[in-house]
Each structure stands twice: as C-alpha cells, then as structure tokens.
Amino acid sequence: MLFNKGNTRTPFLSMIGGKTGYTNSVEFVLGQEYATEEGDIPAISENASLKAPDASYITRSQNTNVTQIFMDSVAISYAKQSNMGTLAGANIAGQTANPQNELDFQVANKMAKLGRSIEKTFMQGKYNKATADSEINKTRGIYEAITKNVVEAEGKTLNIWLLNQVVKKIADANGDVSNLYVWTDNTGINQLHGDAVELGVPMGEFRANEYGIRIRDLILPTATVHIAEGQFIEKGTALLLNFDVIRPIEQPVPGKGNFFLEPLAKTGAGEKYQLFGQIGLDYGNELFHGKITGLSTEFTPPKGRKVVTVTETP
C-alpha cells in the first residue's frame, strides 16, 4: 500500500518500491567509497625494473544510514459501526457514499498519510543516529545526501546548461549518466520547456515510464534526461537522480512484518489499532546523483526562439 505504481502523490516511493531491501539493524551500509588512482605513461628502464616501486594504498570509507519509526493509530467506535446505513451529505436515491468496511477505509487512508510522511522524509530528512532509547533515529534524505555534485545557480532560472553542468560533474565522478531523472517542481518543468523552445532543443511528449510516473525526455549535449515532477521539492532547487541505485530499506519486526496493523487494548466502546513500521533510505553512492541550488523560484516565459548570427571575418 506504500509503493503504489502510478503518478501518485508519492512518486519517489513509486520509483523505488520494487527494489526494497531489508535489515535487522537500525544502521545499514550504503556502500564503500574509494578513489581509483590515475594511470600514467611509465618510464622504467631495465635497470630500474630490478627494484619494485614503492607501494601505495587505496583507502576506503564506509557510508551508512539508519531506519526510523513511522506509526499511527486507527479507532472505530461501536456507534460508528452500527450506524453505517446512515448517509452523509445529499440524500439522493442510489447513493452509496459509505464504504463496505469502515476499518479498511480508515486503514487505507492512514497508509496514504504514512506514505506521504515517508516521501517527505526520504526527500528532506536530516540524519541522526540515536545513541540512547530516548533519542530519535532519523534517516538521511536525498537532499542532505548530495554534497559533491552540486551546482549553484546564483538566482538563474532552471535551464539546459545548468543541467548539463551537473551531468558533467556526475560523469567526471565516474557516475552513470544513462538513466538520470530531473526531479523538480512545476515551475522547473515549465522553465525547462521554455528554455528548450528558445534554444530549439527537441523535447519529448509526456509519457508514463515503467513505474507509471509522467515524464518527458530532454536531450542534453552530455546525456538524455527524464523530467518528472516530484513532491516536497525544496524551493530554489532541482535534483538529478539515478534511481537505479536508490531503494528503501525496511526493518521488519520478527513474526509481524513491517507496517502491520495490530489491535490495542480496549478502553471503551470501540476498537483501536496501531500501524507500525521502520524504514530508511538507501541512496547508494551520492556521486551518482546531482543537485542544483540557488535557483530563481519565479517562472520566466520564453520570448521566442533564439537566433545566433555568425559573421565571417575576411
């Protein structure tokens, strides 16, 4: 129920839901980072080859994130259950506004709320690893995760050349640029379309990808990227994400699973349940992603196609 396929209000979860990983520890490993030494043109004589060169060492660093708790409760009174025949709103013949099962209806809506909470956390979450039971584990969101492939827009509108700079940074860091998504808001999507119109750059029609997310393709000098409207986008920013390396990490409770519904102690004339789950974000190696900051938040309409005139010098 969390990972619904389609252009939902949780598109980030829709993109990563089919690749779920599992952990039995609050802290989980994202991967290791290390720098590969650059090659050179050797200049070694026969005499020099009789002595081995001095050894060098490649240092690795391990990156981790944490899961965090998401929970909510559902309560249904006996009075509500016994009054399902009463219609609310307009009393029109044939009206069937009430659900067949009140509990299913309430749970579905609570799960939708939890999904939105997880979506926002995976985007904007600020990392914290608890050192005591009274402290809170907080998973690191994708915004906080991206610290290296960052371009400062300095108040410019989102445009093709800014995207191209970020793609180049990802490529220079040995990241994969073959399936990047531009994750932006509605203003950013309109601005990119306007920039493409001015530059005469081909921009594909809207289509649904394999996850049901509505996207458009944009051809850049360095790669073809997919443009999608995200949720909980921070003002003045845009992301370039490689979803091939992003997945949710769930931490199930033994014998119960994850995001399960269980009854609570009865305290009155009704039934009360709790929903409980633990989940965190595995964003892979941050060098596979990029970020643009300092963008203008105002849309600037295109003025027409730009024409470049070249004058030959005799």
| pLDDT per residue as tens digits for the range 92-102 | 556 556 667 88
Does residue 269 sit within a domain?
no
pTM for the full predicted model: 0.85
pLDDT over threshold 90, residue 71: yes
pLDDT over threshold 70, residue 309: no
Kindly report, residue by residue over 195-224, the tens digit of the pLDDT.
988 888 878 888 999 999 999 999 998 899
Does residue 114 sit within a domain?
no
Residue 21's pLDDT band, with cuts at 50, 70 and 90, is very high
Whether the CB-CB separation of 115 and 1 falls below 8 Å is answered with yes
Does residue 156 sit within a domain?
yes
Question: In this predicted structure, which of 105-109, 114-118, 213-217 has the lowest mean pLDDT?
Answer: 105-109
Kindly report, residue by residue over 244-273, the tens digit of the pLDDT.
999 999 999 999 999 999 999 988 898 999
Residue 103's pLDDT band, with cuts at 50, 70 and 90, is confident
d(CA 69, CA 109): 18
Phi, psi of 164 (to 5 degrees): -65, -35
**Total tally of structural domains belonging to the chain:** 1
157 versus 55: the higher-pLDDT residue is 157
The per-residue pLDDT for 305 is 67
Does residue 181 sit within a domain?
yes
Does residue 160 sit within a domain?
yes
Does residue 122 sit within a domain?
no
Structure tokens at 262: 């269980």
List the domain range (segments joined by +) for residue 197.
Answer: 149-246
Does residue 162 sit within a domain?
yes
d(CA 193, CA 182): 13
Does residue 234 sit within a domain?
yes
Structure tokens at 168: 């180049």
Q: Is the dihedral of CA 80, 82, 84, 87 positive or negative?
A: negative
113-138 average pLDDT score? 96
Whether the CB-CB separation of 201 and 160 falls below 8 Å is answered with yes
